[in-house]
Structure 1
Amino acid sequence: MSNQGAPFSQGSAETGETVASFTQYEGAQKAVSALIAAEVPAKEIAIVGAGLRSIERITGRLGYATAARSGAINGLMLGVLFSFIFVLGSPAAPIQAFVGVLLVGIALGMLLNILMFSIVRRRRDYASVMQVVADHYEVKVAPASVHKARVALGTAPTATRPAAAPQRLDTPPRYGERIAPGAQPPQAAPAERPAPAEPQPGQDEERA
C-alpha cells in the first residue's frame, strides 16, 4: 500500500505539535472529527497517549470445570463451522451426520482446553483481561497545519495591541505635539529664593 504524500513516514516517532489535550479518549476523538470537518488533512493528525500503563483485571478462578465449559463453547462454534462445510459438500446427508459433527467439535474443544489448562495450571490458575490505558491523550498535528488546527479548535492565541506609552505631563509639549483633551499644560516650577547670608562674627563687633 502506497503512503506517498503523508507527512509522517510509517514507523516514525514524529507526531507534530500538540494542539489539544484530553483526559478521556472520547474527547480526543471529537477533536479529530472537528479537525477533519475543518479540512485539516487526516494524514497530518495523530492521537498520542501519554503516561501509558497496563491494567490486568481478574475475572475469576480457573479450574477443570471452567476449562471444560469454555472448551465446549469453542468446540460448538468449531462444530457448527465443520457441519456447514459438510452440508455444503453433501446436501443429501442425514441430520444425524450434522449432529454428529457438532458433538465431535464440542468434544474436541473440551479436550484441547483441558489439556492446555493442565499445562499452564501451575503458573496461572485464574482468568483475567488485560487493557492498556493512558493518563491523558494529546491531539498532535503536523507543523504545516498547526495554525489551522488551533483555529478550528479555538485554541489559537489572540493578537493583542501594544499598550500606548503613558503621556508625561511634567515635560513641555514638543512642536507639533497634541495635548490630550482635559490634560493640564505643564507649569514651570517656581524659582527658589536665595537664602539670606548669615552675618559673620567679625562684622557684628565692628558695628558695635
Structure 2
Amino acid sequence: MIRLLFALLLVAGPCFGTELPQPKNCDGKTTDLHPKGKITVVMASSQPLAEKTREFGRAMYPWQGLEDFRVIVVVDLRKSLGTLFKGWTVGKMKADLDEEAWTLQPWFRNRGNTNNPRPYLCAVPDFDGKTTEALGWGGNHEIMKVAIFGKDGELLWSDQDAKNPSSLSSKLWEQLGPPAPTPPSIEPRQSRILRRPQ
C-alpha cells in the first residue's frame, strides 16, 4: 500500500499548498500564478533554457489571444549575472516582451482579439529563487519545467523534465480546443524573448 501511494504521488507531480507566492513581474505588477477563470501555463526559463523556452512559447502561439488563456514565464536568475544588474535585466525582459507582443499580433487577430497582446504577457524575474522553489522546481536551471493550472486555480498537469512541447500542446487542446491555424501574415522571424545575460 505504501509503495502504491508513493507511486501515485510521483505520477501526480508536485503538490502545492493553498497559496503560491504572488511575485512581481518585470512590469512591476503582482502576479497571480494560477488566476481564477483562466487556463494558465507557468513555464520555467533561464539562460541555458533560452532556446527551449522559445520553442515551448512558439508551440503555444495557436492559443494566444484567447481571453481565458495566459502564459507566465518564471525566469530563474539565481545563477545568472543578471542578479548583479537587476535594473538592466528587468528592462531587457520588458523589451523582449514588447517584441513578443508584436510577434503575437497576427495570432491574436486570428482569434478575433483586436487588443494589444502586450498586457497579456508576463515574465517573472526570480532573482532569489523563491518562486521557482514554491513551484517545486528545485535548483536545476537546465531542465525545462512547465505546469498548467485550471480555471479554479487547481493544478491540471505538470512536467518537471519536459523534452519537447508535444504533451503541453495536447493538454492545451484538451482544455481550450483545437489550435488556430497559422495566420497568413506570419513572416519567419526569431523572437529574442528571454535572452538572458550569461
Q: Normalised by the size of structure 1, how large is the TM-score? A: 0.23
Q: Which has the larger radius of gyration?
A: 1
Q: Normalised by the size of structure 2, how large is the TM-score? A: 0.24
